[in-house]
Structure 1
Amino acid sequence: MKASTLAISFFLLAFISCTKHPGFLADFDNTNDRVWVGKNFWSVPLEDWKVENGKLHCTGSVPRSRVNLLTQVLQPGDGNFKASVKISLTQKGDVPGSAGLLLGLYDEEDPDVRAACYFGKGINAGVSLQGFAFLKDERAELPENFDFSEVTLTVFGNNHQLKMKVADKNGIGPEELSCNVEGIRGLIAVANNMVLGDNKKPGNSHFSFDNLALSGSKVAKQPENAFGPVLWAMHTLSKNTVKLMALLPPVGEQDNQEVSLQLNKNGKWETVATEQIEPQSRTAVFKLNNWDSTADANYRVEYIEKGKDGTATPDYFEGTIKKDPVDRPLKLGGLTCQFHFGFPYTPLVQNLTKLAPDILYFSGDQIYEGNGGYPIKRSPVDASILSYLGKYYMFGWAFGDLMRNVPTICTPDDHDVFHGNLWGESGIPKPGGAGSSDTRGFIQSVEMVNVVNRTQCGQLPDPYDPTPIEQEMSVWYTDVNYGRISFAIISDRVYKTGPEAVSDWEGRHDHMKEPRKDLSFLDKPGVEMIGERQTKFLNDWITDWKNTDMKVLLSQTVFANVATHHGALEGYLYGDLDSGGWPKAGRDKLIRLMRKGAVLNINGDQHLPSLVQYGLENYRDGGWSFCTPAIATMYLRWFLPDELGTPVVERPEHGYPNTGMYQDAFGNKNFVYAIGNPGKNTVDRESRYNHAQIRSSGFGMITFDQTERTILMDAWRFKADVENPNPVRDQFPGWPLKISQFDNLGFGANNMLPEITINKPNQLIQIRDEKTGKLEQIYRIKGNSVQPKLYDAGIFKITIGENGNQKEISGVKSREEKNSKKISVEF
């Protein structure tokens, strides 16, 4: 007997004697043909894997494409394991490829299995079409007559040594391979076209996999790691109506196509609705009217998995729809822009959970094109949808545990529809298709865009006007009333005019590189920001104060050009037309509308946290904006007027640099109260989470006190200690800031109306120009008295009260600076 054979015999004997784990086997024989492998697995990329005819197939050419086994994990410490899989070559590519197992996938940054799926490092074990088997750094030549049509690969291991046996269907194979290891832990995955040392081209061949088995005392069963079949759910509660959307993976045509929503009533689960899975978005949306908003309700989403043999296995996703928090301050978590190097964003998610938001707002860029570590597929339509879903599911995997119990507002932005920048012009297709991102129109098919809209906004209340726009593209602008706060939700890019309509310079249409004396050319007739339809919606929304104390506008980006440097500290840019500072006429119209109702603007997108008070004719005569930090910042921006030598005007009392009054490239007057610039060192190659920290990543928390009518805004860093915060380290400079709701009326109005006293507190006041009927202001009074200040002089009609119980006062004249008259209103 050869020494190597003797050694492996003793190794196997030791393995068998110590094995206690009952073993795991996946043969896929009972799995219907589909893209989704199953709840015990996670494929990367999603769209490159499928179960077909009882085997797991890879159909793509992404290097190190893999299917991770989630629920059977190699534990640290002593013990042993056996892993095996059957591999078949299905298509030999132009560049020879490889296939096998990834052993011990583990992320030193974060022990979470989700991190291991995308960032885990492990040991390669497999066979290459170049004619060798490999285990870690060891290789053995394959016999010339080796048959790749069916290969069985078996690895035996413990914390010190691995051994691998390879045989084709005829029993032919190389000598056993062995290697030493210094501990092994983590996930097992099957992999296609692995990256092998000096092999610069992993290959583009396709393989199938079957009979994946794992057993041994080192293997721990962890069913809690399963993902699916209901991946997660999002919901809103507004005006006594619940909208809840269940998100499912790409199940097959022979799989169950129904999802049920159940409520726990008196200790028993009762099915209240059943919906079909929408085939492209893989979602099921439930709408429940006449909801009792005064009590918590436990829900679960039921999906019954059906096997080929007719077996039926129910799976449940559970959560709570909480009562409308009308009797206490409301906390909103503001989040935006999640680049995957920070996935699954564990420090941030833990901090957000500790702060216990009542409602969440994800303002856009829930995906980036590079998320997951592989490129997007733009076509054909089905592939583009799956490409999007695979990246979007990362968002749900990271935040799903929060969203199951917390109402969630989510809106797509440019990267969600595979754009660097988006100028939607009401849904038109992009002339010429893909190319530069500085011209109008959508690159992707309307089918794919509608999937994005559905998967991110399906849980929102019905749109104000659901009529599709160009190409039959769906819309989602609407409002949510929760905790007596009314949120208007709009898109500031879907309707926006492309910059080529005004640019007269060379180079990128959206990059204005130098100042111009006359800016009127930037606001040509017909240039739009939010479009006529959304403007009509906001004009109606601003006057609807039923069960409302304060109003908030949720947009994707800030309505100002608050960045001087883009991409790098050397990347100075005078004016960015992708910012919400352009077009100015549309921006000003929106700021005026917000000011009428003392509306706060919450947004994201910029990867540069800021607190800005908008200006119109003068600085600070508009409302406030909070641009929340990016969850994980990829593209960097800075606001550095001090370094540019810009004169300092009205720097806030805190004295932080790069703050004060600044006019941007488009003539907008912006009071920058706080800015969260990255530092000069923005790279940490050793730690993904430190990398996020130094790139100004984090999240916002906004607390609305309905009684005091105050708004507290916090901007937490990615790795903050929210329980014992350091005032310098954990929040960005200038935060937190508390303002009054009425600060959003702006400063500088000097046309005063008489003081009004009312015998009933907290009444709605509405002020209109008596001659034209133009709305000047509308808000809920705090307490029993108010003395309004207006920006326009004139004679006004004042309405106090609502819902048919109103008092009108006509012929009320404004006076500049002082008005000693008094008006008493009795109900």
Structure 2
Amino acid sequence: MTFYLKSRLILSIIFVLTLFACQNQTEKAFVGNLPDDMTRIWIGAEYWANPLQDWQLNNGRMECVVSGGGRNMYLLTHEIDSVPGNFKIRIRTGKLDNTNDSLNKGWIGFKIGIKGEFDDYRSSAVRGQGFPVGITTSGLLFIGKKDSPIQKVKTSFDDILLELTSSQKEDKYILKLAAYDKEHTLISEIKRTDIQPEWIEGGIAIVCHNGDLTEFPDKRTYSEYPVWGTAKGTARGGNVRFWFSDWNISGSKISVHKERAFGPILFAQHTLSNGILKMTAQMPPIGKKDGQIVDFQTKIADKWETMAQADIDTLSRTATFKINYWDISKDIDYRLVYELYSAGNRLMPHYFEGTIRKEPLDKDEIVVAAFTGNNDLGFPNNDIVESIKYHDPDILFFSGDQIYEGVGGYSNQKSPLDKASIDYLRKWYLYGWAYRDLMRDRPTVAIPDDHDVYHGNIWGAGGEAMPEGLSGADAQDAGGYKMPAIWVNMVQRTQTSHLPDPYSTNLVGSGISTYYTSMDYAGVSFAIIEDRKFKSAPKPLFPDAKIWNGWAQNRKWDVLSKSNVLHAHLLGSAQLEFLDSWAGNWSKDTWMKVLLSQTIFANVATLPEEDAFSDAIVPKLRVMKQGD
């Protein structure tokens, strides 16, 4: 009897442990379920697409719709962990083009062990390097490198299943890659037994690559000065366009990080001025079956109540709220609510929460954290974010260049309009991804500068369009905007639509809106101006100076005697009228005034005489130390 009870107890323990282990494996598993009856550009919150505009969700499949180097879909919520164990990754794939044309050189499959230069999953998603595993378009399976003795697979690439499995042997791993046809018949498989743990531990992505396979080095190296713009091997071209579906990941070596999902409400910015709250929610490129509005809610009697709704703009993908008579005397929690069309072909609610802080009218000191030149060379800028949190500022001010043309890699795309908009948005999203936890509960002022509108320099000439037929510095020196007004307005909506209402609603130049305004907060009156949009270009004013990129190339031209001309503008007459009104208004307990602009109006600087034809020497000048 005792033996029987002990046996039953042992069996019960085994059953519980087995059940727990199975449940743990299930919790670690990833199943890439997607809605199967819709099309949209943005795949979902679990993914980061590189680059965004070259991918789409189409009836349950992820499709790489533009051929090019380094196209990949990074999984944010799961990774291969640095613990003992095993994993399995599976994906179905096939070529998009239903033709018999031969494929260009390239490969499809996975990258595993993806790591960025900085210890953060966002760095890995955007600029990370990983261990390649897959099949070349010539039919060669590979694990990290091509092994010529392996026999090539004969396949039309219409529908194949790739399955990568791992097993551990002492301090190394064994990887096996198998390819199956659509009837699940094994086509070919290979195995590699010398895999170091550090090669494969990290992020996971699916890859669709046009070009040569870059074999994995034994050790990752990062450029001392990263490439601005197009990294080697990422240009558009070729015909390597594939779909992917049924992405499954499982195993004891897989870790889950659901909190890393990004979206669909990506981030929000707000201002509070004279009791008026304005907030803009930034959304991804949604589809027709997704929700088209965002709700703004606050808690009333411990219940969330909708205070406002806003439509999502079809180009900027923003939803902007304006709420009058806001209670500035206390902290108020808020949440944004949005319904996304999801797996199971149904709308599912998603939330983004934050706090509108009480207006600090009782503080003797108002702290403003100021940022400028937000490139991605240190993305996601954790050191900056942590330092800002330490100082706990009352206001955030981003004075321009929230993006650069090369942010996120893959250069930039200036046409057609919607693709150009998404190209900008994927760069802009990195700004929000880095700073959203600071912005969700602090008033934020952001104003675009030259690089935000794809300029190296800009003299806006009153918002006019740049003369046709010019490019580069010649185009900029002529004055005006390179990009069309509708695109510039899209950029301005993403960055400034949450600011207090503009002083003037008139369009200028080629149809560009203005946003210069004032913000009264905590006894400080801020003038937020546009010192680029109305500025006259120097080249048409001073032909004898031989201007190039804003710099006089004619050494005989006397700047002191010849640079003072009539009809040159800096801020424009309407903006000067606004500043006159603002400067004289000290109402509403204003005790201080601050002017916020993209650039300073005057700068005394010296350059080596032989290099004084541009500022190209500036980044190369010696950094002076104390006592020099």
TM-score (norm 2): 0.85
Structure 1 pair 382/142, CA: closer, same or farther in 2 (3 Å)?
A: farther
Shift of 1:234: 0.3
Structure 1 pair 535/179, CA: closer, same or farther in 2 (3 Å)?
A: farther
Structure 1 pair 246/564, CA: closer, same or farther in 2 (3 Å)?
A: same
What CA deviation, in whole Å up to 9, does each residue of 1:89-147 have, x standing for no partner? 1247874222111111122x422110111222211011111331221124364546322
Alignment partner for residue 251 of structure 1, among 276, 282, 286?
Answer: 286
Report if the CA contact (8 A) 2:32-2:247 is conserved.
yes
Q: Name the counterpart of 2:182.
A: 169
Count matched residues: 569
1:316-327 matches, cutoff 5 A: 316-327=351-362
Q: Name the counterpart of 2:214.
A: 197
Shift of 1:525: 1.4
The alignment status of 1:557 with 2:599, answered yes or no, reads yes
Q: Name the counterpart of 2:567.
A: 526
Alignment partner for residue 240 of structure 1, among 267, 271, 275?
Answer: 275
The alignment status of 1:56 with 2:73, answered yes or no, reads no
Alignment partner for residue 84 of structure 1, among 79, 85, 90?
Answer: 90
Report if the CA contact (8 A) 1:243-1:286 is conserved.
yes
Secondary structure of 2:67's counterpart equals coil
What CA deviation, in whole Å up to 9, does each residue of 1:384-415 have, x standing for no partner? 10100011100000001110011100000111
Q: Which region of structure 1 is more displaced relative to structure 2, 89-98 or 442-451? A: 89-98
Alignment partner for residue 552 of structure 2, among 494, 497, 512?
Answer: 512
The alignment status of 1:411 with 2:447, answered yes or no, reads yes
Shift of 1:306: 2.6
Shift of 1:311: 2.3
Report if the CA contact (8 A) 1:147-1:169 is conserved.
no
TM-score (norm 1): 0.65
Structure-2 separation of matches of 1:180 and 1:447: 55
Q: Which amino acid aligns with 1:321?
A: I
1:64-143 matches, cutoff 5 A: 64-91=70-97, 95-107=104-116, 109-139=117-147, 141=150, 143=152
Q: Which blocks of at least 5 consecutive residues in structure 2 are unaligned? A: 1-20, 217-231
Q: Which amino acid aligns with 1:169?
A: K
Secondary structure of 1:519's counterpart equals helix
Q: Name the counterpart of 2:377.
A: 341
Shift of 1:18: 9.0
Identity of aligned residues (%): 36
Structure 1 pair 276/80, CA: closer, same or farther in 2 (3 Å)?
A: same
Secondary structure of 1:83's counterpart equals strand
Structure-1 separation of matches of 2:73 and 2:605: 41
Shift of 1:485: 0.9
Structure-1 separation of matches of 2:23 and 2:323: 52
Q: Name the counterpart of 1:366.
A: 402
Structure-2 separation of matches of 1:232 and 1:193: 31
Structure-1 separation of matches of 2:623 and 2:431: 24
Structure-1 separation of matches of 2:326 and 2:233: 58
What CA deviation, in whole Å up to 9, does each residue of 1:648-682 have, x standing for no partner? xxxxxxxxxxxxxxxxxxxxxxxxxxxxx7469xx
Shift of 1:484: 0.8
What CA deviation, in whole Å up to 9, does each residue of 1:64-92 have, x standing for no partner? 11111111122112111111111111247
Q: Name the counterpart of 2:464.
A: 428
Alignment partner for residue 582 of structure 2, among 541, 546, 554?
Answer: 541
Structure-2 separation of matches of 1:93 and 1:473: 47
Q: Which region of structure 1 is more displaced relative to structure 2, 93-102 or 422-431? A: 93-102
Q: Name the counterpart of 1:466.
A: 505
Report if the CA contact (8 A) 1:564-1:572 is conserved.
no
Secondary structure of 1:455's counterpart equals helix
Q: Name the counterpart of 1:224.
A: 259
Q: Which amino acid aligns with 1:302?
A: V
Secondary structure of 2:510's counterpart equals helix
Report if the CA contact (8 A) 1:18-1:79 is conserved.
no
Alignment partner for residue 447 of structure 1, among 486, 497, 507?
Answer: 486
Structure-1 separation of matches of 2:613 and 2:127: 38
1:321-720 matches, cutoff 5 A: 321-328=356-363, 329-432=365-468, 435-436=471-472, 437-503=476-542, 504-506=544-546, 508=548, 510-513=550-553, 514=555, 516-517=557-558, 519-546=560-587, 547-565=589-607, 572-573=611-612, 637=618, 678=623
Structure-2 separation of matches of 1:415 and 1:374: 16
Report if the CA contact (8 A) 1:35-1:46 is conserved.
yes
Structure 1 pair 212/291, CA: closer, same or farther in 2 (3 Å)?
A: same
Larger Rg: 1
Q: Which amino acid aligns with 1:523?
A: N
Q: Which region of structure 1 is more displaced relative to structure 2, 281-290 or 302-311? A: 302-311
What CA deviation, in whole Å up to 9, does each residue of 1:614-666 have, x standing for no partner? xxxxxxxxxxxxxxxxxxxxx873698xxxxxxxxxxxxxxxxxxxxxxxxxx
What CA deviation, in whole Å up to 9, does each residue of 1:711-762 have, x standing for no partner? xxxxxxxxxxxxxxxxx8xxxx99xxxxxxxxxxxxxxxxxxxxxxxxxxxx
Q: Which amino acid aligns with 2:112?
A: L
Secondary structure of 1:491's counterpart equals coil
Report if the CA contact (8 A) 1:260-1:301 is conserved.
yes
Alignment partner for residue 274 of structure 1, among 282, 306, 309?
Answer: 309
Report if the CA contact (8 A) 1:19-1:217 is conserved.
no
Q: Which amino acid aligns with 2:248?
A: A
Structure-1 separation of matches of 2:71 and 2:366: 44
**More helix per residue: 1 or 2?**
2
Structure 1 pair 18/212, CA: closer, same or farther in 2 (3 Å)?
A: same
Structure 1 pair 638/165, CA: closer, same or farther in 2 (3 Å)?
A: closer
Structure-2 separation of matches of 1:82 and 1:350: 36
Shift of 1:369: 0.6
Secondary structure of 2:56's counterpart equals strand
Structure-2 separation of matches of 1:99 and 1:227: 25
What CA deviation, in whole Å up to 9, does each residue of 1:427-483 have, x standing for no partner? 111111561232211111111111100000011000011111122211110111111
Report if the CA contact (8 A) 1:262-1:301 is conserved.
yes
The alignment status of 1:298 with 2:333, answered yes or no, reads yes
Secondary structure of 2:298's counterpart equals strand
Q: Which amino acid aligns with 1:467?
A: N
What CA deviation, in whole Å up to 9, does each residue of 1:139-196 have, x standing for no partner? 3645463221112111112563222112233535333232422213221111110662
Structure-2 separation of matches of 1:269 and 1:484: 31
Report if the CA contact (8 A) 1:515-1:574 is conserved.
no
Structure 1 pair 571/368, CA: closer, same or farther in 2 (3 Å)?
A: farther
Q: Which amino acid aligns with 1:553?
A: L
Q: Name the counterpart of 1:666.
A: none
Q: Relative CO higher for 1 or 2, CA cutoff 8 Å, sep ≥ 6?
A: 2
Report if the CA contact (8 A) 2:280-2:497 is conserved.
yes
Structure-2 separation of matches of 1:679 and 1:571: 20
Shift of 1:544: 1.1
Secondary structure of 1:388's counterpart equals helix
Q: Which amino acid aligns with 1:266?
A: A
Structure-1 separation of matches of 2:147 and 2:620: 53
Shift of 1:226: 0.4
Q: Name the counterpart of 1:648.
A: none
Report if the CA contact (8 A) 1:138-1:179 is conserved.
no
Secondary structure of 2:449's counterpart equals coil
Structure 1 pair 249/385, CA: closer, same or farther in 2 (3 Å)?
A: same
Structure 1 pair 563/82, CA: closer, same or farther in 2 (3 Å)?
A: farther
Shift of 1:508: 1.0
